[in-house]
Amino acid sequence: MVFGFGKSKHQEINAQELDAMLRDGSALVVDVREPDEFAAGHIPGAVNLPLSRFSPDELPDPQGRQLVLNCLGGKRSGMALDKCGIAKANVDTHLAGGFNAWQAARLPVER
């Protein structure tokens, strides 16, 4: 075990799992990076809700889909999920490795 890294208390899915969920319409991605980062490239169809002003009350209605949070590497989406937990929001999943993992998997990027 690597020091400082235990089992995440949040659900994590990998880039391929998220890609499959997006293809079958079962996920909605909420990107918690700042607007300039989001504009530079993001997962197609993602909604931008920056962590700097993140509020679980402002999460979009997923309309039956699972909300999946992402950031660049996974740290900020975890912090946003912590806020969701405190607010009892029904969101507990994020992209393991964040947008970096999405790009490493050579999945489509929207700009």
Q: Are 104 and 80 in contact (CB under 8 A)?
A: no
pLDDT tens digits in sequence order for the chain, 111 residues long: 344 444 557 899 999 999 999 999 999 999 999 999 999 999 999 999 999 999 999 999 999 999 999 999 999 999 999 999 988 888 999 999 999 999 999 999 999
Give the global pTM.
Answer: 0.91
Tokens (6 digits) for 44: 């197609």
Q: Which domains does the chain have, with CATH numbers?
A: 11-104 (3.40.250.10)
Measure Cα distances from 12 to 21, 39, 111 in Å: 13, 24, 25
